[in-house]
Amino acid sequence: MNVDEVKRMSGQLRDAAEEITRIEQELTRGLEDVDWTGPDADRFRGQWSGEMVPALQQIMNAVNELGDTADRNAAEQEATSS
């Protein structure tokens, strides 16, 4: 294992998780600001907040967990190699 590469990948995973959060927040703000009313708009917003936002949050959490796992594995490898 190249510990430095795994650590770098861990950082990339965390950056990706932050980007997912940023995109979700940006889209949510955009949806709140758009001039769109009526049943279709209500249905769309309900689907966004009820299905899409939780799905994106799950993905973000999973990507963060992968970053944590990569960090742990790199640390364990360093400890073993020392």
What CATH number corresponds to the domain at position 68?
Answer: 1.10.287.1060
Note the maximum CA span of the chain.
64
Question: What pLDDT is stored for residue 82 in this prediction?
Answer: 77
Question: What pLDDT is attached to residue 11?
Answer: 96
In this prediction, residue 44 carries a pLDDT of: 97
Q: State the pLDDT at residue 81.
A: 84
Sites in the chain below the pLDDT cut of 50: none
Q: Read off the pTM.
A: 0.85
Which pLDDT value is given to residue 20? 97
Q: Give the chain's domain count.
A: 1
Q: Which domain holds residue 56?
A: 3-81
